[in-house]
Amino acid sequence: MHTSSDLLSIINTLARWISRRIKAIMLVMLFAPTYLLAQNNQKTNILFLMDASFSMRKEWDGGTKWKTAVNTLTEIVDNTAHIDNVNIGLRLFGHLYDESESNCKDTRLELPIGKYTKERFANKIGIIRPKGITPIAYSLEKCVADFGEDNNAKNILILITDGEESCTGDPCKAAWMLQQKGIVLKPFVIGMALTEAATKNFYCIGQTINTASDKEFNQTLKNMVDESIAKTTLQVNLLDSKNKATETDVAMTFYDSETHLAKEHFIHTLNSRGNPDTITISPFFNYDIQIHTIPELWIKGVTLKRNIHNEVTANAAQGNLAFKLQGVLSKTAVVDRIKCIIHQNDSTATVHVQKLNTTAKLLTGKYDLEILTLPRIFINNVQIDDDKTTHIEIPTPGILTMNKSYEYYGVLFMQEKGELKKIYDLKPALKQETIALQPGKYRIVYRAKFAKSGHNTIEKEFEILSGGSISLRL
């Protein structure tokens, strides 16, 4: 039978247990309100590249820079341990060799990207003593292999340092390589009492924030991790002529406005409700969005508001251009050579090359067409309307076959309105030439290659009918 003192002891123990659980829950809620948004299929890998050089021993705001960094990282590890899709890694530099040795390869991955308890992390980092120099560029280069081979993961690199590069490496170049290879989205730099000049030197690496106190560092790093994990979404509205977001099924490329590197590729999609699909995207860039319509569209300088849903809009009303023959031509090789070059109205720039007997989707507006027949056909001011098909039909060409007894120099003319228009030069080395010509009247003028007088020139007239064929012996 329990005495009253035993019951009181049990009650006190239970109360302390409940109190600890409530505090833990409150800490998670206060520290990372948006971490819960990370519970999706994509993994977020955060690699801390931290300075462990001798200068990190310096006193700072009642402690040392090293102690401040270690305490904050330990809190972050503890508060992200419960999130399934968030992994933490730690690479240090400047901790293996004494400062006097000036070792420019002083770096090691101390904790591979994964899940860690507060105790395991604290035990590992607790035995480290800052003592060396700061080989930042070399350490950045070594981060390439630290993230593994999960191409679908969101990789975040956070550099923590209180000084500048000690060796001959180029941190800017190393950081650029990480982004160009698509290994990390964008590096971040958190300075600990950096000089103004040093802070500016880190701008080329990525977003740089210099902190001046223990409290500021703690909050800045937590905010950065919080934003790295949180979910930012974007909806791209492609409007038709009625300002409805119904246009879709086009590719989109998202470029970093600053580096011009392609960061994301999507095929625009409408969801089951007929609305533009919501995509999850990193908020750490200003984007230039290339929409691969014909001609292409750009939405430039897009800045996303973090941790919320964003929308951008482009006028993208489209119609169709159907390009075909009026009849049937049996020679497929001839058909394959007939193409339509599409120019924007009053512009020489080519926006598309369309094959015969196909339909292309174009932005609404007027276009000038150049059709690669013999002779060429030019059709200007072709109107493309929203959700409609404009039909362009050209006469079926006829086939001319020229059989040569000798090698000839010659020219083929089309007779048009009393004038001769040159459209083709004979190829002297070929014994037979077969070409497709548009219906009409033609004249061929030629002479033998080795003839010694212009009076040996020969002329022949003939007519090409649509879909017909004719053979000439020269």
Of 315, 337, 369, which residue sits at a domain end?
A: 315
Residue 222 reports pLDDT greater than 80: yes
Q: What is the pLDDT of residues 187-204, one digit of tens each?
A: 899 999 999 999 999 999
Residue 469 to residues 22, 213, 239, 399: CA-CA distances in angstroms?
91, 88, 49, 4
Residue 331 reports pLDDT greater than 90: no
Spatial CA neighbour of 125 closest among 111, 138, 105, 143: 111
Domain, as residue range, for 423: 398-473
Query: Do 218 and 141 lie in a common domain?
Result: yes
pTM, 2 dp: 0.71
What pLDDT score was predicted for residue 153? 86
Q: What is the pLDDT of residues 132-153, one digit of tens each?
A: 999 999 999 999 999 988 888 8
What pLDDT score was predicted for residue 47? 96
What pLDDT score was predicted for residue 418? 81
Contact between 77 and 116 (Cβ < 8 Å): yes
Q: Does 43 reside within a domain?
A: yes
Q: Does 361 reside within a domain?
A: yes
- pLDDT cut 90: percent of the chain above it: 68
In angstroms, rounded to a whole number, what is the distance separating the alpha carbons of residues 449 and 446? 9
What pLDDT score was predicted for residue 152? 82
- Coil, helix or strand for 296? coil
Of 256, 290, 315, which residue sits at a domain end?
A: 315
What pLDDT score was predicted for residue 22? 42
What pLDDT score was predicted for residue 332? 66
Backbone angles phi, psi at 30, to 5 degrees: -75, -40
Q: What is the pLDDT of residues 259-315, one digit of tens each?
A: 898 989 999 999 988 999 999 888 888 999 999 999 999 999 999 998 889 999 999
Of 207, 229, 251, which residue sits at a domain end?
A: 229
CATH of the domain at 244: 2.60.40
Query: Do 405 and 303 lie in a common domain?
Result: no
Query: Do 419 and 388 lie in a common domain?
Result: no
Q: Does 23 reside within a domain?
A: no
Q: What is the pLDDT of residues 356-407, one digit of tens each?
A: 999 999 999 999 999 999 999 999 999 999 999 999 999 999 999 999 998 9
Q: Does 131 reside within a domain?
A: yes
CATH of the domain at 122: 3.40.50.410
Name the pairing type of β-strands 309-315 and 233-239. Answer: parallel
In angstroms, rounded to a whole number, what is the distance separating the alpha carbons of residues 75 and 69? 10
Query: Do 373 and 346 lie in a common domain?
Result: yes
Cis peptide before 295 (omega within 30 of 0): yes
Q: Does 2 reside within a domain?
A: no
| Mean residue pLDDT across the chain | 88
Query: Do 88 and 201 lie in a common domain?
Result: yes
Domain count of the fold of the chain: 4
Contact between 110 and 62 (Cβ < 8 Å): no
How many residues make up the chain in this entry?
Answer: 474
